[in-house]
Amino acid sequence: MDSIKPSKIISELIQMGAYKSTLSAKHILIRGFLSGALLGFSTVLAFTVAIQSQQYYLGALAFPVGFVMIVLLGLELVTGNFATVPMAVMGKQTSMKNLFYNWFFAFLGNLLGSVFLGIMFFIYVTKCGHTYDSDIVKKIIAIAQEKTLVYKDLGYTGSIVVLVKAILCNWMVTLGVVMGLVSSSTIGKICAIWLPIFTFFALGLEHCVVNMFVIPTAMMLKAPISVSDWWLWNQIPATIGNIIGGFFFTGIFLFITYHKKGSHEENNLPTNSEKNVVEVSVSEE
């Protein structure tokens, strides 16, 4: 049996959050950069599959490949950290200072990786700016406009819509992180991760890191979107919504119902010797 009990999963998530919160800024930035780029790859893949098959849901089915790579490699995706690091704080394994430290550098690393992949995508898809008439270019521009200008036209209501879609999105995304721990086998992890990530993408919800790729890339492709349109009508409210969705609906709720104090054996929390191993590994990095 390779299935892992929820109480042990939560204990592992607490230790994961503690470990992530003590990584050096260099390692968070590098791992965050890779995560942003990988989500950019999977977004392009999803759009390409959707265009060629003319079935959006087939594109959504392809999208989780990037997220699977991120989880299996233990990289830094800020939306996942919106749940795991708060769990470590609630479990008294790290501090609020370390939480904001991790979130800041993970967000920055994700942004840098996403924009970098956008630049690489722009170079090859437009042949260095010589052609803008491909289907994938039109698709990215159309989706970026839906994620910014459509909300802008709605005004205050648009901000509420982004916020709600972002809350629902990261509820699913952080469950993807949780599901990555339900099995001890690689194939089990992959299958479990796929479920909530496919769900969020198929529903067209708002993920702040995916949007770090889609919107600035569309701007490079001459979409009529300004920097203020990007940040005010999507990036900021989407990030806030992602924090709420991950922190409350996954972090707090699962912690409350599965975490029990006072028993290392019952909670599968590490012993003092195991904590020392974690501390040594962190210091070596």
190-231 pLDDT, tens digit per residue, is 999 999 999 999 999 999 999 999 999 999 999 999 999 999
Q: What is the mean pLDDT of the chain?
A: 92
Cα–Cα distance for residue pair 261/63, rounded to 1 Å: 38
Count other Cβ atoms within 10 Å, centred on residue 264: 12
Read off the pLDDT of residues 58-97 as tens digits, 9 standing for 90 and up.
Answer: 999 999 999 999 999 999 999 999 999 999 999 999 999 9
Q: What angle do CA 266, 270, 274 make, to 5 degrees?
A: 155
pLDDT given at position 263: 41
Task: Give me the mean pLDDT over the 175-183 stretch.
Answer: 97
DSSP string, 35-84: HHHHHHHHHHHHHHHHHHHT-HHHHHHHTHHHHHHHHHHT---HHHHHHH
Tokens 């991790």 -> residue = 102
* Cα-based distances in Å from 85 to 18, 48, 89: 6, 34, 6
Higher per-residue pLDDT: 3 or 112? 112
| Closest by Cα among 14, 24, 9, 27 to 94 | 14
Task: Give me the mean pLDDT over the 265-280 stretch.
Answer: 42
**pLDDT confidence bin for 274, thresholds 50/70/90:** very low
Cα–Cα distance for residue pair 110/214, rounded to 1 Å: 13
Tell me: pLDDT of 249 over 80.
yes
Read off the pLDDT of residues 251-261 as tens digits, 9 standing for 90 and up.
Answer: 999 999 999 77
**pLDDT confidence bin for 275, thresholds 50/70/90:** very low
Tell me: pLDDT of 44 over 80.
yes
- At the fourth CATH level, which superfamily is domain 6-129+142-262? Glycerol uptake facilitator protein. (1.20.1080.10)
Task: Give me the mean pLDDT over the 136-140 stretch.
Answer: 98
**pLDDT confidence bin for 42, thresholds 50/70/90:** very high
Task: Give me the mean pLDDT over the 229-252 stretch.
Answer: 98
Contact 161, 151 (CB under 8 A): yes
- The domain limits of the chain are 6-129+142-262
**pLDDT confidence bin for 164, thresholds 50/70/90:** very high
Q: In the chain, what are the helix, strand and coil shares in percent, each to the nearest 5?
A: 80, 0, 20
pLDDT given at position 278: 44
Task: Give me the mean pLDDT over the 46-58 stretch.
Answer: 97
Contact 194, 218 (CB under 8 A): no
- Using a 10 angstrom Cβ sphere, with 0-12 exposed, 13-18 middle and 19 or more buried, the burial of residue 241 is buried
Task: Give strand pairing partners of 183.
Answer: 3
Cα–Cα distance for residue pair 46/157, rounded to 1 Å: 29
| Closest by Cα among 195, 205, 213, 208 to 68 | 195
**Of all residues in the chain, what percent carry a pLDDT higher than 90?**
90
Strands (E), 115-157: none
Tell me: pLDDT of 5 over 90.
yes
